[in-house]
């Protein structure tokens, strides 16, 4: 029996460094497949379909919503963004692990479909002061937008309760190392190895 | 807030190599505290109280049973054997991990008291033929006893269903390495890190 891959979901409030952690994790373990989002926004110069995003028309996207073919989706400033379920399942069935970087709202939806199969990791900032520093550090937003984003991030912290793992992102390389340990542990998880019990049972004569 | 240690339970049918795995694991990670059993059998020459066993009188042991102070216990050939709960809790409270090597019946009892806090690892033989080879390899038993032990071991395999992790013991060093990954992952497990959410919550002004 071929083992399926694991769905690794990296989530957490904005400003906790999901993007950087995922980038470094993929460098450390290149055989993990990063899940590519679908979007209805126009490709920017240099962006490639199937690499940066799956670029879809509004009609195609709405069709996918209607057919329940997205793990999660959201509308942001008139554009749709979402995670196509088929692609994720395809890669998992091939035995490879899939990495999903996603906000806490999206992660909640993915849990509904993958609660048992997914590995849900919640990133935390070392402190609220550091969170504010990181959100301000982007330097692209008005004071009002920063305040809004910060208070939204703080509101999301208790959602960590619903995850499998919680990691404080103090040093990125430490976080990546912990995730690599989690991935290895998950390969030994009982729900990934029930076939071994059956296999031994079948040896009985 | 000080983090508590984890209870690591290594179990599995007889002949799967629990003892060897635990010995090598303690060599690899000497800061793990091996849980010492209590027994009413007489110490053999060289055996030290509190190192090899806690040597108790029958009355002391029965008192512990009556006061529910054993995680699990069994009577074998007129002697009692069991795991004192106080010692385990003491070490866990001090922040250290405790290792428990235990048969599948004992593990079931420990699960009743430590289901959420414990990490339950089930060892499997690579095949039933290999299991028989290992049980015969001890060379100390009659053919009848061997047959009985083997069929008991086979009957226990489906119990792996109730564990957190399943590992096939093909190469001991690989098993130890997997357990080390599991221990590291468990330190990130949500139930070991809920204080971090509370801590960040408390920073709010």
Residue A142, SS3? coil
Helices A18-28 + A172-187 axis angle, to 10: 60
Asked if A166 lies within 8 A of B124 by C-beta distance, the reply is: no
Tell me: pLDDT of B155 over 50.
Answer: yes
- The CA-atom distances, in angstroms, between A41 and each of A38, A47, A109, A163, A197 are 9, 11, 22, 31, 48
Query: In this structure, is the dihedral angle defined by the CA atoms of residues B161, B163, B166 and B172, taken in order, positive or negative?
Result: negative
Task: Report chain B residues touching chain A, CB-CB < 8 A.
Answer: 121-122, 124-125, 127-129, 154, 157-158, 160-161, 163-168, 178, 181-182, 184-190, 193-194, 196-197, 200-201, 203-204
pLDDT-derived band of residue A1, with 50, 70 and 90 as boundaries? very low
* Residues B20-44: tens digit of each pLDDT: 999 999 999 999 999 999 999 999 8
Q: What percent of chain B has pLDDT over 70?
A: 98
Residue A55 CA to residue A61 CA, distance in Å, equals 9
Q: Tell me what the pLDDT averaged over chain A comes to.
A: 91
Residue B105 CA to residue A31 CA, distance in Å, equals 40
Rounded to the nearest angstrom, the gap between the alpha carbon of residue B186 and the centroid of all alpha carbons in its chain is: 16
Tell me: pLDDT of A2 over 60.
Answer: no
Separation in Å, CA of B178 to nearest CA in chain A: 7
Residue B23 CA to residue B17 CA, distance in Å, equals 10
pLDDT of residue B205: 64
Residue A60 CA to residue A84 CA, distance in Å, equals 12
Asked if A125 lies within 8 A of B204 by C-beta distance, the reply is: no
Separation in Å, CA of B138 to nearest CA in chain A: 22
pLDDT-derived band of residue A142, with 50, 70 and 90 as boundaries? confident
pLDDT of residue A205: 64
Q: Is A13 annotated as a binding residue?
A: yes
* Residues A106-127: tens digit of each pLDDT: 999 899 887 777 999 999 999 9
Asked if B204 lies within 8 A of A166 by C-beta distance, the reply is: no
Residue B193 CA to residue A175 CA, distance in Å, equals 14
pLDDT-derived band of residue A185, with 50, 70 and 90 as boundaries? very high
Q: Is B125 annotated as a binding residue?
A: no
**What phi and psi, each to the nearest 5 degrees, are found at residue B98?**
-115, 135
Question: What is the DSSP secondary-structure string of A26-44?
Answer: HHH-TTSEEPPPEE-SPPP
Residue B95 CA to residue B10 CA, distance in Å, equals 19
Least confident of A64-68, B72-76, B182-186: B72-76
Contacts of B185 in chain A (CB under 8 A): 165, 178, 181-182, 184-186
Interface test with A, best of B181, B191, B201, B203 (most A CBs within 10 A): B181
Q: Is A15 annotated as a binding residue?
A: yes
Length of chain A: 205
Asked if A163 lies within 8 A of B189 by C-beta distance, the reply is: no
Task: Tell me which residue in B121, B127, B188 faces A203 most closely, judged by beta carbons.
Answer: B127
Interface test with A, best of B104, B134, B166, B187 (most A CBs within 10 A): B166
Asked if A161 lies within 8 A of B128 by C-beta distance, the reply is: no
Task: Tell me which residue in B178, B187, B190 faces A164 most closely, judged by beta carbons.
Answer: B190
Task: Tell me which residue in A165, A193, A201 faces B189 most closely, judged by beta carbons.
Answer: A165
* Residue among B67, B145, B74 at smallest CA distance from B107: B74
* Residue among A85, A86, A107, A88 at smallest CA distance from A98: A88
Q: What percent of chain A has pLDDT over 90?
A: 74
Contacts of B104 in chain A (CB under 8 A): none
Q: Is B19 annotated as a binding residue?
A: yes
Q: Is A16 annotated as a binding residue?
A: yes
Asked if B124 lies within 8 A of A186 by C-beta distance, the reply is: no
Separation in Å, CA of B146 to nearest CA in chain A: 16
Query: In this structure, is the dihedral angle defined by the CA atoms of residues A51, A53, A59 and A64, taken in order, positive or negative?
Result: positive
pLDDT-derived band of residue A8, with 50, 70 and 90 as boundaries? very high
Asked if B185 lies within 8 A of A184 by C-beta distance, the reply is: yes
Residue B12, SS3? coil
Mean pLDDT of B88-113: 92
Residue B32 CA to residue B86 CA, distance in Å, equals 17
Give all domains of chain B, ordered by start, each with its CATH number. 1-32+96-205 (3.40.50.300), 36-95 (3.30.63.10)
Contact assessment for residue B176 and residue B28, using Cβ atoms and an 8 Å cutoff = yes
Mean pLDDT of B99-111: 92
pLDDT of residue A204: 77
Asked if A129 lies within 8 A of B167 by C-beta distance, the reply is: no
* Residues B162-202: tens digit of each pLDDT: 999 999 999 999 999 999 999 999 999 998 899 999 999 88
Show the tokens assigned to B143. 């053919």
Contacts of B169 in chain A (CB under 8 A): none
pLDDT-derived band of residue A141, with 50, 70 and 90 as boundaries? confident
Separation in Å, CA of B205 to nearest CA in chain A: 10
Q: Is A106 annotated as a binding residue?
A: no
Least confident of A15-29, A36-50, A115-129, B107-121: B107-121
Contacts of A164 in chain B (CB under 8 A): 189-190
Mean pLDDT of B121-139: 90
């Amino acid at each position: 029996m071929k083992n399926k891959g694991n769905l690794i979901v990296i989530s957490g409030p904005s400003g906790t460094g999901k993007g950087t952690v995922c980038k470094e994790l993929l460098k450390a373990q290149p055989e993990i497949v990063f899940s590519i989002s679908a979007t209805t926004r126009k490709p920017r110069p240099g962006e490639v379909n199937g690499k940066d995003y799956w670029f879809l028309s509004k009609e195609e996207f709405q069709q996918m919503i209607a057919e329940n073919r997205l793990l999660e989706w959201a509308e942001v400033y008139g554009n749709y963004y979402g995670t196509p379920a088929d692609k994720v399942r395809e890669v998992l069935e091939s035995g490879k692990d899939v990495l999903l970087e996603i906000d806490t709202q999206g992660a909640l939806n993915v849990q509904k479909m993958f609660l048992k199969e997914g590995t849900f990791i919640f990133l935390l900032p070392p402190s609220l002061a550091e969170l504010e520093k990181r959100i301000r550090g982007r330097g692209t937003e008005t004071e009002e937008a920063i305040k809004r984003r910060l208070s939204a991030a703080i509101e999301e912290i208790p959602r960590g309760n619903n995850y499998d793992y919680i990691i404080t992102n103090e040093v990125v390389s430490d976080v990546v190392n912990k995730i690599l340990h989690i991935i290895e542990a998950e390969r030994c998880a009982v729900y990934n190895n029930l076939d071994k019990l059956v296999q031994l049972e079948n040896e009985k004569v």
